[in-house]
Amino acid sequence: MTATGIGAPVRRKEDLRFITGKGQYTDDISRPGETRAVFVRSPHAHARIRQIDTQAAAAMPGVVAVLTGADLAGDKIGNLICGWMIHSTDGSPMKMAPHPALADGKVNHVGDAVAVVIAETLAQGRDAAEKVAVEYEVLPAVVDPGKAQAKDAPLIHEMAPNNTIYHWAIGDQSAADAAFRAAAHVTRIDLVNNRLVPHAMEPRAAIADYDAGTEALTLWNTSQNPHVARLVISAFVGIAPEHKLRVIAPDVGGGFGSKIFIYPEEVVCLWAARRVRRPVKWNSDRSEAFVTDAHGRDHITHAEIAFDANAKITGLRVRTIANLGAYMSTFSSAVPTYLYATLLSGQYQIPVIHCTVDAVYTNTVPVDAYRGAGRPEATFVIERLMEVAAREQGLDPIELRRRNFVQSFPYQTAVASLYDAGDYDASVRKALEAADIKGFGQRKRDAERRGKLRGIGYSNYIEACGIAPSAVVGSLGAGVGLWESAEVRVNPTGSVEVLTGTHAHGQGHETTFAQLVSERLGIPFENVSIVHGDTDKVQFGMGTYGSRSGAVGMSAIVKALDKVEAKAKKIAAHVMEAAEGDIVFKDGKFTVAGTDKSVDFAGLALQAYIAHKFPTSEIEPGLKETSFYDPTNFTFPAGCHICEVEIDPETGQTDIVAWTAVDDFGTVINPMIVEGQVHGGVAQGVGQALLEGAVYDADGQLVSGSLMDYSLPRAEHLPPIKVDTTMTKCPSNPLGIKGCGEAGAIAAPPAVINAITDAIGSEDIAMPATPAAVWKALQKASAMRRAAE
């Protein structure tokens, strides 16, 4: 390992600009003559728009234009779409209701955009937006996903009877039913996977600029996948042809999924910029983010697991209702299906599984992928089941897991996933040691003496990253392929630029990708630059989500580097007058085997560009190669997280006193960055378990609509986090990478809840386990104990 190569904890290239305030986030960019967009939003969850009067607003100082859904329709701007087709069990396609960027006659959630004011300044825009008079006929709202399919529930979209988007299933129902009939023990649980608001710290933003001379539009936006944004905005929304639309996602301040999607605001900015012939800028404030950024999770689930007399799992049945909100967001349909049910086997051998999912509309903000996307929900189901089942059968929870682990690979699960590699017990062994499980009994007794309840909880998660190959995801309904592209440009002086179709918004690609190139070409780390996030620079790419950038994005770079090396060897053979087969490339040098003749990488690069010493009829001048890489399978990171809590029974306050994470991510490029990803993922998972919950009232008002009401994890909520890894290489990509971005958020919630339920001796606790919820659970449990006595 070199100091900056694969496996080294290299300090990040991107940090200098961020620690000095020189980052360039979308809101930091300003275009000459720019106007500001302010949206008029529905205060009602469900209402018909009787009329919109824009006259008074249009007459306000500084107002350039006031536009409504009628103007949008008049200009034939298309609807936003969901790009993943799911079919119901009866073969019918999902019911994708129209989603115009500005409401067309009816609003379907609080925050739905009704009109936009374009003004000279933000203050003038806000003043004018208040003067837009919208007359509503308020309709009854559907808020609870559990009641959305009721016969008497109000209908949100005419084309979706019973508010049902799809009724989907996977697995063998009759085999599962048979397994349950023959079971020696069955554990049943009802779970709610609480609704979350992602909250990247940078709110979403967009600036659109129209060049009337070239009839081309440029959009700067907070996107995790600028090429996909351009494709959707061009091909489906129809704003401009793809070659007349440039999308730039500059520095982006966190995404966690919420910036994958194509939202109404960027569409409206583009459309308005062309109408008013001036740049249009929109910047969400946090209150607006609460009612416009796609939310996450929001499942209601009943799950049952069957065991034989030896506590070996014989079957699993799961029924889930998934709330997708008022409209189908860009990838919403895939989250509770192929990103969820295909992981329900966890780390275990489960011969039969059957899962049904009802996706429903409600009058709430659309729900889509949020860090983990479906996999946290699946892990919560299986890891809560395992813990409860162990307690019911009087077994140690680790012993029950070990008895059922998948031991040999590849392993075909009962829900389509083919696990390629892993060693689950290795992570468990390391985690038990690091968490000092042997000392837990003593720590629990010490806590008791202080009047505290101490508990320990396990989570043996598995996830699927780098979703691929494209033909497979296509057969599952994806509207796109999930390969990745890379272009390696070698400059005549031997420095290298790599253009990647992935996008970094905190992950440190500028560092880790450069580590790969530096090691592979034997050139200094400083001589490598990574370029991303601009459709005029990078030809095409699928962006960053689902922990795909290492496994898929770096694999594309490897393939392009292979081509660079192959061509460079040909040139080296001519330069050194040797046979191509005798050229060896090692440590940045091309050598003729068995001689002292050599040329270094920079020297060879110069030869490639001056083209004096090789026949250009056979070998083209220059050194630049491109690769589009499609992996052969998903990757399957897995691990063991252990959470230790202490609860004050007087207040219900839960303190996480220790956290141990041992993960198998395959090859690790930069352990410092990987640890940081685990820390952040765990924090978001702890947030879900203890603090966060988007709460709607019965009328569809978001009660937890500000950071005063929605509790994000702060430094004091979290303990120091012990992170370690084990390693089985992923066989599905050339570097053996599995991906690490989502692991913490997937592993953490069941670890926390398993620890709390262990401490309080009751399984009756929902997320977020606030002090009030824990205190109530304690009171209920003691009342039941008293009644039993």
Partner 1 sequence: MVSVSMTVNGKAVSADVDPRTLLVQYLREHLRLTGTHVGCDTSQCGACVIHLDGQAVKSCTTFAWQAEGANVTTIEGLADPNGPLHPMQEAFRENHGLQCGYCTPGMIMSAVDMVYRKGHELDDQTIRHELDGNICRCTGYHNIVKAIAAGARAMKDSAPALKAAE
Cβ nearer to partner 1, comparing 437 with 672: 672
94 or 206: CB nearest partner 1: 206
Strand order in the sheet with 528-531: 528-531, 496-500, 484-490, 624-629
Q: What share of the chain is helix, strand, coil (3-state, %, to 5)?
A: 30, 25, 45
Shortest distance in whole angstroms from residue 411 CB to partner 1:
32
What is the nearest approach in angstroms of partner 1 to the Cβ of residue 683?
A: 3
The CA distance from 642 to 630, in Å, is 35
**Alpha-carbon distances, residue 424 vs 421, 428, 633, 662, 670 (angstroms):** 10, 7, 20, 10, 22
Which phi and psi (to 5°) does residue 125 adopt? -65, -40
CB of residue 710 to partner 1, shortest distance in Å = 10
**SS3 of residue 303 by DSSP:** strand
Name every residue whose Cβ is closer than 8 Å to that of residue 168 and which is 6 or more positions away in sequence. Answer: 86, 87, 88, 89, 337, 356, 357, 358, 359
Query: Which CB, 113 or 205, lies closer to partner 1?
Result: 205
Phi, psi (deg, nearest 5) at residue 444: -65, -45
- Using only C-alpha atoms, what is the Rg of the chain? 28
Helix (H) or strand (E) holding 115: strand 113-119
CB of 22 to partner 1, least distance (A): 7
Query: Quick one: 120 or 392, whose CB is closer to partner 1?
Result: 120
- The letter for the amino acid at 655 is D
Task: Indicate the residue among 358 and 646 with the shorter CB distance to partner 1.
Answer: 646
Which CB, 371 or 520, lies closer to partner 1?
Answer: 371
Look at residue 773 and give its three-state secondary structure: helix
User: Which is nearer to partner 1, 14 or 562 (by Cβ)?
Assistant: 14
Q: Min. distance of Cβ 19 from partner 1 in angstroms?
A: 4
Sequence-separated (6 or more) residues with CB below 8 Å from residue 685: 376, 744, 745, 746, 747, 748, 749, 751, 752
Element (H, E) at 590: strand 589-592
Closest distance of CB 334 from partner 1, Å: 24
Give me the least distance between CB of 285 and partner 1, in Å please. Answer: 5
- Least separation in angstroms between CB 771 and partner 1: 17
Residue 718: exposure state from Cβ atoms within 10 A (0-12, 13-18, ≥19)? middle
Q: Are 718 and 680 in contact (CB under 8 A)?
A: no
- Which positions touch partner 1 (CB under 8 A)? 11-12, 14-25, 27-28, 30, 121, 123, 199-203, 251-254, 256, 285-287, 505-508, 672-673, 675-676, 679-684, 706-708, 712-716, 718, 720-721, 744
Supply the minimum distance, in Å, between the C-beta of residue 688 and partner 1: 13
Cα→Cα distances 672→527, 678, 715, 723, 745, Å: 21, 10, 20, 10, 18
Extract the tokens encoding 529. Answer: 């630059």
Give the ranges where 501-554 is alpha helix by DSSP (H): 509-521
**Cα–Cα dist 647/772, whole Å:** 12
CB of 18 to partner 1, least distance (A): 3
CB of 533 to partner 1, least distance (A): 13
Closest CB to partner 1 among 70 and 707? 707
**Judged by CB, which is closer to partner 1: 317, or 532?**
532
Of 115 and 683, CB closest to partner 1: 683
Q: How far apart are CA 56 and CA 41, in angstroms?
A: 17
Smaller CB distance to partner 1: residue 20 or 174? 20
Q: What is the SS3 assignment for 646-657?
A: EEECCCCEEEEE
Strand 216-221 and strand 496-500: pairing?
unpaired
- The distance of closest approach from Cβ of residue 715 to partner 1 in the complex, given in angstroms and rounded to an integer, is 4
Provide the pairing of β-strand 653-664 with 721-726.
Answer: parallel
Query: Which is closer to partner 1, CB of 202 or CB of 387?
Result: 202
Minimum distance, C-beta of residue 405 to partner 1, in the bound complex (Å)? 28
Q: Which is nearer to partner 1, 15 or 135 (CB)?
A: 15
Cβ 114 to partner 1, closest distance in Å? 21
Closest CB to partner 1 among residues 205, 583: 205
Tell me the torsion sign for CA atoms 262, 263, 267, 269.
negative
Burial 543-578 (b: 16+ CB within 10 A, else e): bbbbbbbbbbbbbbbbbbbeebbebbbbbbbbbbeb
Cα distance between residue 531 and residue 486, in whole Å? 10
